[in-house]
Amino acid sequence: MSIEVRSISKQFGNHTALDNVSLTFPDGKLTALLGPSGCGKTTLLRIIAGLEHPDSGDVYLGGENALAHHVRDRQVGFVFQHYALFRHMSVFENIAFGLRVRPRKERLSNEAIRKRVIRLLELVQLDWLADRRPTALSGGQRQRIALARALAIEPRVLLLDEPFGALDATVRKELRQWLRRLHEEIRVTSLFVTHDQDEALEVADEVVIMNRGSVHQTGAPAEVYARPATPFVYGFLGNVNLFRGRVQDGVLQTGSCRVGVPGHLGNGGSDDIAYVRPQDIQLERYTPGTDGIVVELERSHAIGPVAQLVLRRRDTQETIEVVMATERFGELQLKARETLVARPTRVHIFPAGQA
């Protein structure tokens, strides 16, 4: 079922949580709301669920205006960051809770509830824990039970608020892979809130990037990473080096160095900022007169498949981060304090006023 929000605004005192946000979430897709803390993503999720009411705007679920319906009538499954499981109930009864509190005329028989709960426990691969209490479970297990409870009511949409935020890094990675597989099986239109870029890019079909109550970009993970629409998106999706200067006729003059930036004509009359990811910089040993940024290797860290280097510009004393394959780093046999030339291979230019 599709989800659409139109011109949603929400104010908390003097703080603008959402500023005229309009979005359409594809039917059957898993969409990540990504952004820093306080950007408005959780507020938007709660408005869709009916836990908050917008100051203005509308929410449509399957083409029907959801604001006219109480939260219990929206058929929305909500998974909280801190599980919100009932500690005095067994795992089985936690999952069954939403089914047992339905009005009598809508309530399933005890046998039908039992079958659905068992099916969900099998789906989340925890059927062997049905009689345990939540306090006896690990964090990852509790989150999977919380997800099973949300699915028990057969929601039209599934909303997850920082579902893995309370877990350690290893468990987070395992669970996001599991969530991706689960979504491919159930195909419920789902939104999840996260501030973890890797999580959003790995799990989601679509990514919505937000900051300060506004949407900066939407698109498939590969699209938003490769073609960021704004400086904020570029900087938020992974590490980035900034080179300030002026572009004219495909050449960036930055400090005392010249760097070719094909495809960027510029006018030479205004300040520009080149955004370059650490993996998009080539290094070679310094030769006088070569175009590029003259740097000195300050330190390096080569463990595993990737080597990380920190360079210092000779002209501005700014640092530059570079990553390359450990094998390539070994071939170059670079030494600390060695003078090199850094040459960006993929550059995105923004006018300084947009940064």
Q: Domains of the chain by range and CATH?
A: 3-236 (3.40.50.300), 241-354 (2.40.50.140)
Contacts of 339 (CB under 8 A, 6+ apart): 285, 286, 294, 295, 296, 314
User: What is the reported pLDDT for 48?
Assistant: 95
User: What is the reported pLDDT for 323?
Assistant: 96
Angle among Cα 180, 185, 188 to the nearest 5 degrees reads 85
User: What is the reported pLDDT for 290?
Assistant: 79
Which of these ranges, 41-45, 79-83, 100-104, 192-196, has the smallest mean pLDDT?
A: 79-83
Q: Considering the chain, what is the average pLDDT of its residues?
A: 89
Return d(Cα 153, Cα 96) in angstroms, integer: 9
Residues 232-261 have pLDDT tens digits of: 999 999 899 999 888 888 888 888 888 888
Mean pLDDT of 161-174: 79
Return d(Cα 293, Cα 355) in angstroms, integer: 22
More confident residue, 183 or 164: 183
Residues 293-318 have pLDDT tens digits of: 999 999 999 989 999 999 999 989 99
Report whether pLDDT(288) > 70.
yes
